[in-house]
Amino acid sequence: MATMRVNELAKDDLFWQIEYKHDRCTLCGRCVAACPFKAIEARVERRRKVISDDITPNPKVIFQTVPVIKQVVDEYNFCRGCGICEKVCPNDAIRPVRNPDHRFQAKYRSVTGDPFKRGGRNNLVTSARTLDKIKIGRISQMTDPSLDAQRHTFDLLAPFGRVLPPQEIPFEIKDGKLVERENTPPVRWIYPIIIGDMSIGALSWRMWEALAIATAYLNEEAGIPIRMCSGEGGVPVRLLKSRYLKYMILQIASGHFGWNRIINAMPDMVEDPAGILIKIGQGAKPGDGGLLQAKKVAKHIQEIRGVPKADLLSPPNHQGLYSIEESVQKMFLSFNAAFKFRVPVAIKVAASATSVSVYNNLLRDPYNIVGGFFLDGIDGGTGAAHEISLDHTGHPIVSKLRDCYLAAVHQGKQGQIPLWAAGGMGKGWNLAADAFKMICLGANGIFTGKLMLQLAGCVGNDNGKCNACNTGLCPVGICTQNPVLVKRLDIDKVAENIVNYFLSVDHELKKLMAPIGNSSLPVGRSDALIATDKAVADRLKIQYAC
Amino acid sequence: MCRIGAIKSRKYLHPSKALKLMRSQQKGHDNSGFAMVMQDLGGVFENYKDLPILSLACTDEGMRIADNILHEAGFVRIMQWAPETHPREWLKIEPMPNYIFLVLQYPKSYKYASKEEKEELLVDIRLKIRKALEVNDEGFVYSFWPDVLTLKEIGDPTDIGEYFGLWEENDELRAKIITAQCRQNTNYDIVRYAAHPFFLQGYTALANGENTFYEKNRDFQKKLYKGYIGFESDSQCFLYTLHYVHKILKWPLMYYKHVITPLPFEEIELREDREVLKKIRASLAHLEINGPNTIIGVLPDGTVFTCCDSKKLRPVVVGYTDDTAIITSEVTGINEILPDRDWEQDIYPNEREMVVINNDLEVQRWQQ
Ligand code: SF4
Ligand code: SF4
């Protein structure tokens, strides 16, 4: 009996198993060349073959050495199921097959002593999302005619910036008209969907550039005033000095990466940025800082961020800030002052049991300086994280957004610090519906990240396919700095897909506003919604319908 | 659909005018009620212009409760007037036992009080009475304000007129401004408080239509002022916004329209005052209205105005002569009351317009 090492990793432990059809393979080698994870390799096998050379059958056995494509079985170069090999194979000879009985994460941890990391979203949720249990149930009929999505005009704009209560706006009456006595905090009216913060570094420069191109195109050609958040880690100087900066929300996180470049570029800026977003936390890995692994810190990233090639860890908190009041004073004041109080400054926190307290507190901010509350729930996630954080920490967004809105209603301060929420928006591929429902529940707008990657060609899904964003080997060039892989991404095509998607979203948003008879965003109009789930209805304080 | 109307005149008019104005528009309403607010009163009230009048519909017990509260607060009764009622079996009406209009003297302690203090007192007392009456359904208090009385009733407007003897002109009940509505609010329960016109501190508003931003409006208004209560009808929101913009914020009347139906951003950007308009739009986003509406409003100084939703989805027309102006849902109403006016002067306000009638009966058209 042969010896067997039961503790060794075997093919049946892996997430994905390569199904290889030897008889179809012409050994072109494309799959091996295409797999960025080195999860397959060309090997030789000794094969027994029965042949007959004579006119009459005269079988004889020969042994041959033949080249084959084999799956690699180890903890580092394992198949991610991305399907790139299948995509490139001209003969349908190879494909990954999901292994429902895998035990890979246990094996990985027990061998490496290292937490398992991956990209993508939470993998545990299998039931329908909360938003899918909500419908737009209040349809205008005879007494309040619905509008015509084609013919009527709609005001699809949301405020970004600190909105003052009317009695605090420094108005005086001159000749029967209101005039402003002095400046007030800046408020920008923008599209209610923001392309969420994904850093140049986490994304490849081509992906990031494609987003920036799509943003500029949507603004300048399509008339959709969408904004894009830079993510942490800086912005190319060329962009900082260009007029396109006005479409960019610059982010600063606890690592402060890239900010010296931004500050240095200030004298040369011809436009103000669209806003500043101070990231306190993110929903995909709440309580964790950012992590850009050294392998993704390519030369241009080093330049933009002003760092050497090393793991770039943003601490989980902003050092030196120990209370909400302090954060208001230090961060908001300083960043407002930096741009001479012309640029709205907002804050992004991970949705959590405590976010309502934070929001309540900010609403009472005496400086009127917080220009937006970005609330990020689980189910987002574009970059790398520890799996344990992705799957087991965080707070779903819908009820938390609702709680924040109702807390503002309770204070009579709804709308004063615009609420923006994200975390799985567009997960069912329909961003307009998600945005609309969130707005009815009280959001001024939403932001979205992962969906943008999926529009760009990310092959990942929520069932463990690919999710290799942490490896720096993204097979489609989206979140990698590897020049060979990055070249796989067609910038123009990606930009075009994103633009087209937003054109359809814009149309769909109107298609949802028209039947409820609203020509401006129905912020807080939860009476327009019904829930088909009693628990959801009760929790969100909306009508239950069955 | 509601039919609404406002008559403003240099002369004191009898409410039969309002009934006639409404009756000719009858096909448009469902005969579920009639309500009116009379301001700038003549007749039996003419000599009490500065004293607050409490408008009450209640049971005997309700009367006692209100009396006690007023007494306790130090108000002294100066005069009491009740319309003579004519109960008949066949009248379609659900009357209350008593309709009382009490003219009261302010408490002595308010002798040197400012106008504002008195105005707050009147709201406080009205809210207190309302709350006390609600406990056992003992009645309704509609207004408590100098020179104003309010009558609201459930039933067929013609019969309501009959019951109160309002079809016959007499010298008792007269006013220079009468606003009226036919039809109860049918979106919700038929409750007397839900009937327009709504009144608060000298402001009156009535509307024809549906406020689809009701929930937003209400949630926001609840925190703005103690008098913003009830919300039995989505149209109450229009009154509260009017009161808030004009009385509390002290903004000129033209901004009411900018608050409830803000200009589209494209148009705002073309205007010189864009920064002001954008500030207002951001700050009072929750007071915006959507949905089909026509609003008629009256200010404490007697100015009467009308405006529509931003798509002009409900009718309204203004007709006038030298001494009387009428704003109402349909022109048939005006034809009835002012048959000899120059009808070419009639105004059908557009979605961006406010038609404002001042105390000199000057009719102005303000473009938003
Ligand atoms: S599916 Fe992807 S990771 Fe797996 S072998 Fe094919 S290319 Fe490599
Ligand atoms: S394709 Fe790229 S971006 Fe998508 S999951 Fe895989 S590694 Fe991440």
Give the three-state DSSP class for A534: helix
Q: Is A525 on the interface with B (CB under 8 A)?
A: yes
- In the reported structure, the alpha carbon of residue A370 is separated from the centroid of ligand 1 by a whole-number distance in angstroms of 46
- In the reported structure, the alpha carbon of residue B28 is separated from the centroid of ligand 1 by a whole-number distance in angstroms of 71
Q: Is residue A43 part of a domain?
A: yes
Return all residues near A455 (Cβ < 8 A) that are at least 6 apart. A494, A497, A498, A501
Residue A456 has pLDDT above 90, yes or no: yes
pLDDT band at A344 (very low <50, low <70, confident <90, very high): very high
The residue length of chain B stands at 368
The CA-based dihedral angle spanning residues B35, B38, B42, B43, taken in that order and rounded to the nearest 10 degrees? 20
Q: In whole angstroms, give the CA distance from residue B91 to residue B155.
A: 8
Domain endpoint, select from A64, A95, A114? A114
Question: Is residue A257 located within the same domain as residue A402?
Answer: yes
What is the bridge-based pairing of β-strands A227-229 and A248-252?
A: parallel
Q: Which residues of A touch B1 (CB under 8 A)?
A: 143
Inter-chain CB proximity B216 and A176 less than 8 Å? no
Q: Which residues of B touch A165 (CB under 8 A)?
A: 283
Q: Is A142 on the interface with B (CB under 8 A)?
A: no
- Selected for mutation to probe chain A from B187, B211, B216 (highest A CB count within 10 Å) is B216
Q: Is residue A489 part of a domain?
A: yes
Q: Is residue A170 part of a domain?
A: no
Using a 6 Å cutoff on CB, does residue A460 contact ligand 2?
Answer: yes
Q: Is residue A412 part of a domain?
A: yes
Residue A21 has pLDDT above 70, yes or no: yes
Inter-chain CB proximity B278 and A187 less than 8 Å? yes
pLDDT digits (tens, 9 = 90+) for B214-263: 999 999 999 999 999 999 889 999 999 999 999 999 999 999 999 999 99
Inter-chain CB proximity B311 and A144 less than 8 Å? no
- In the reported structure, the alpha carbon of residue A84 is separated from the centroid of ligand 1 by a whole-number distance in angstroms of 6
Two tokens, residue B344 = 């070419």
pLDDT band at A307 (very low <50, low <70, confident <90, very high): confident
Inter-chain CB proximity B278 and A169 less than 8 Å? no
Q: Which residues of A touch B284 (CB under 8 A)?
A: 166
Higher pLDDT, A381 or A8: A8
Residue B186 has pLDDT above 80, yes or no: no
What residues does each domain of chain B span?
4-49+147-367
Residue A382 has pLDDT above 70, yes or no: no
Q: Is B85 on the interface with A (CB under 8 A)?
A: no
Nearest alpha carbon, ligand 1 atom 4: A79
Nearest by CB to residue A163, choosing from B249, B283, B291, is B283
Residue A79 annotated as part of some ligand binding site: yes
- Selected for mutation to probe chain B from A144, A152, A160 (highest B CB count within 10 Å) is A144
pLDDT band at A1 (very low <50, low <70, confident <90, very high): low
CA angle, A341 then A345 then A350, to 5°:
165
**Order of strands across the sheet with A529-531?**
A134-136, A529-531, A543-544
Q: What integer pLDDT is reported at residue A240 of this predicted model?
A: 95
Using a 6 Å cutoff on CB, does residue A14 contact ligand 2?
Answer: no
B9-22: average pLDDT: 95
Two tokens, residue B276 = 């002001």
Mutation probe of ligand 2 site: the residue of A208, A451, A476 with most atoms within 8 A of C-beta = A476
Q: Are A191 and A158 in contact (CB under 8 A)?
A: yes
What is the bridge-based pairing of β-strands B203-209 and B198-200?
A: antiparallel
CATH number of the domain residue A411 falls in = 3.20.20.70
Question: Is residue A98 located within the same domain as residue A196?
Answer: no
Q: Are B29 and B182 in contact (CB under 8 A)?
A: yes
Nearest by CB to residue B249, choosing from A153, A164, A167, is A167
Give the three-state DSSP class for A385: strand
Inter-chain CB proximity B264 and A152 less than 8 Å? no
Q: Is residue A294 part of a domain?
A: yes
Residue B102 pairs with which residues in a beta bridge? Answer: B54, B80
Nearest-CA residue of chain B relative to A542?
B215
For chain A, report the end-to-end CA distance as a whole number of angstroms: 64
Q: In whole angstroms, give the CA distance from residue B79 to residue B110.
A: 19
Q: What integer pLDDT is reported at residue A54 of this predicted model?
A: 87
What is the bridge-based pairing of β-strands B363-367 and A16-20?
A: unpaired
Question: Is residue A329 located within the same domain as residue A226?
Answer: yes
How far out from the chain centre does Cα B96 lie?
Answer: 21
Portion of chain B with pLDDT greater than 90, in percent: 88
Mutation probe of ligand 1 site: the residue of A31, A40, A88 with most atoms within 8 A of C-beta = A40
Nearest by CB to residue A527, choosing from B209, B215, B222, is B215
Q: In whole angstroms, give the CA distance from residue A200 to residue A211.
A: 11
Q: Is B118 on the interface with A (CB under 8 A)?
A: no
Q: Are A433 and A131 in contact (CB under 8 A)?
A: yes
Q: In whole angstroms, give the CA distance from residue A354 to residue B105.
A: 54
Two tokens, residue B167 = 């079809």
Inter-chain CB proximity A178 and B276 less than 8 Å? yes
Q: What is the ipTM of this complex?
A: 0.93
pLDDT digits (tens, 9 = 90+) for B63-108: 999 999 999 999 999 999 999 999 999 999 999 999 999 999 999 9
Inter-chain CB proximity A177 and B273 less than 8 Å? yes
The three-state DSSP-derived secondary structure of A232-246 is: CCCCCHHHHCCHHHH
Two tokens, residue A377 = 């729930």
Residue B185 has pLDDT above 70, yes or no: no
Domain total for chain A?
Answer: 2
pLDDT band at B190 (very low <50, low <70, confident <90, very high): confident
Closest CA to B243 of B258, B232, B231, B253: B253
**Helices A205-220 and A491-513: crossing angle, nearest 10°?**
50
The three-state DSSP-derived secondary structure of chain B is: CCEEEEEEEEEEECCHHHHHHHHCCHHHCCCCEEEEEEEEECHHHHHHCCCEEEEEEECHHHHHHHHHHHHHHCCEEEEEECCCCCCCCCCCECCCCEEEEEEEECCHHHCCCCHHHHHHHHHHHHHHHHHHHHHCCCEEEEEEEECEEEEEEEECHHHHHHHCCCCCCCCCCCEEEEEEEECCCCCCCCCHHHCCCEEECCEEEEEEECCCCHHHHHHHHCCCCCCCCCCCCCCHHHHHHHHHHHHHCCCCCHHHHHHHCCCCHHHHHCCCCHHHHHHHHHHCHHHCCCCCEEEEEECCCCCEEEEECCCCCCCCEEEECCCEEEEECCHHHHHHHCCCCCHHHCECCCCCEEEEECCCCCEEEEEC
Closest atom of ligand 2 to CA, residue A471: 7
Residue A50 has pLDDT above 80, yes or no: yes
pLDDT digits (tens, 9 = 90+) for A97-115: 999 999 999 999 999 999 9
Residue A324 has pLDDT above 80, yes or no: no
Q: Within 10 A of A461 (CB to CB), how many other CB atoms are there?
A: 14
Q: Is residue A169 part of a domain?
A: no
Question: What CATH class does B4-49+147-367 carry?
Answer: alpha beta
Ligand located closest to A94 CA: 1
Using a 6 Å cutoff on CB, does residue A467 contact ligand 2?
Answer: yes
Q: In whole angstroms, give the CA distance from residue B232 to residue B175.
A: 27
Residue B222 pairs with which residues in a beta bridge? Answer: none
Residue B201 has pLDDT above 80, yes or no: yes
Ligand located closest to A471 CA: 2
pLDDT digits (tens, 9 = 90+) for A524-537: 999 999 999 999 99
Q: Which residues of B touch A147 (CB under 8 A)?
A: 311
Angstrom CA distances, A400 to A130, A387, B51, stand at 12, 23, 52
Angstrom CA distances, A214 to A160, A228, A256, A429, A439, stand at 20, 10, 26, 19, 24
- In the reported structure, the alpha carbon of residue A478 is separated from the centroid of ligand 2 by a whole-number distance in angstroms of 7
Inter-chain CB proximity B291 and A140 less than 8 Å? yes
Higher pLDDT, A470 or B274: B274
Task: Write out the H or E segment, with its range, that includes residue A215.
Answer: helix A205-220
B141-170: average pLDDT: 94
pLDDT band at A258 (very low <50, low <70, confident <90, very high): confident
Q: Is residue A152 part of a domain?
A: no
Inter-chain CB proximity B223 and A140 less than 8 Å? no
Return all residues near A30 (Cβ < 8 A) that are at least 6 apart. A85, A88, A89, A90
Q: State how far residue A236 is from chain B, nearest Cα, in angstroms.
A: 32
Mean of pLDDT over chain B: 94
Mean of pLDDT over chain A: 91
Q: Is A145 on the interface with B (CB under 8 A)?
A: yes
Cis peptide, bond prior to residue B197, ω within 30 of zero? yes
Q: What integer pLDDT is reported at residue A196 of this predicted model?
A: 92
pLDDT digits (tens, 9 = 90+) for A396-450: 999 999 999 999 999 999 999 999 999 999 998 999 999 999 999 999 999 999 9
Residue A85 annotated as part of some ligand binding site: yes
pLDDT band at B187 (very low <50, low <70, confident <90, very high): low
Using a 6 Å cutoff on CB, does residue A81 contact ligand 1?
Answer: yes
The CA-based dihedral angle spanning residues B102, B108, B109, B111, taken in that order and rounded to the nearest 10 degrees? 100
Tell me the residue range of the domain where A29 lies. 11-114
Question: Is residue A108 located within the same domain as residue A205?
Answer: no
Q: In whole angstroms, give the CA distance from residue A261 to residue A524.
A: 40
- Selected for mutation to probe chain A from B250, B290, B312, B352 (highest A CB count within 10 Å) is B290
CATH number of the domain residue A18 falls in = 3.30.70.20
Residue A466 annotated as part of some ligand binding site: no
Inter-chain CB proximity A411 and B283 less than 8 Å? no
- In the reported structure, the alpha carbon of residue A77 is separated from the centroid of ligand 1 by a whole-number distance in angstroms of 10
pLDDT digits (tens, 9 = 90+) for A191-237: 999 999 998 888 999 999 999 999 999 999 999 999 999 988 889 99
H helix intervals, A313-464:
324-327, 333-338, 355-363, 387-392, 397-411, 431-440, 450-456
DSSP-derived letter for residue A139 is -
Nearest alpha carbon, ligand 1 atom 2: A82
Nearest alpha carbon, ligand 1 atom 8: A35
